Amino acid sequence: MYALIWRAIPGPWPVKLLVALALVAGAAAGLWYYVFPAIDPYMPFNDGAVETQGGP
């Protein structure tokens, strides 16, 4: 999987490395700012209220 990505990136290896790092950074930012905030409310461990409304 990672080997495939590595081979799909064009250029000599320093360029490949840079592009790969940029890809990793992009994926991390996307997760951090969009994916994680979106899925966070569905996590079971952050409900602080007692069950007053018929459920947590």
Partner 1 sequence: MVSTSERHSRPAGRRGHFRGRRRKPPQRRYTGGDIARGIVRTIGELLFTAGILMLFFAAYEVYGKQFKTDQEQQQLAQGLEERWSEQEERGPDAGAMPGQANSRLYIPELDLKWVVVNGVSQEDIRYSPGHYGDDDVSGGDAAAPGEKGNYAVAGHRTPGIFWDLDLLEDGDSIVLEDGENFYTYEVIEERTVTPDHVEVVDPDPFDPENNDDPERALLTLTTCAPKLNNTHRLIIHAELTDTRPKEDGMPDSIAHMAPENQAEGE
Binding footprint of partner 1 on the chain (CB under 8 A): 1-3, 6-7, 10, 28, 31-32, 36-37, 40-41, 43-53, 56
| In the complex, minimum distance from the CB of residue 42 to partner 1, in angstroms, rounded to a whole number | 9
d(C-alpha 23, C-alpha 52), whole Å: 45
State the minimum distance, in angstroms, from the CB of residue 32 to partner 1: 6
Q: Give the residue with the Cβ less far from partner 1, 18 or 32.
A: 32
9 burial class (0-12, 13-18, 19+ CB within 10 angstroms)? middle
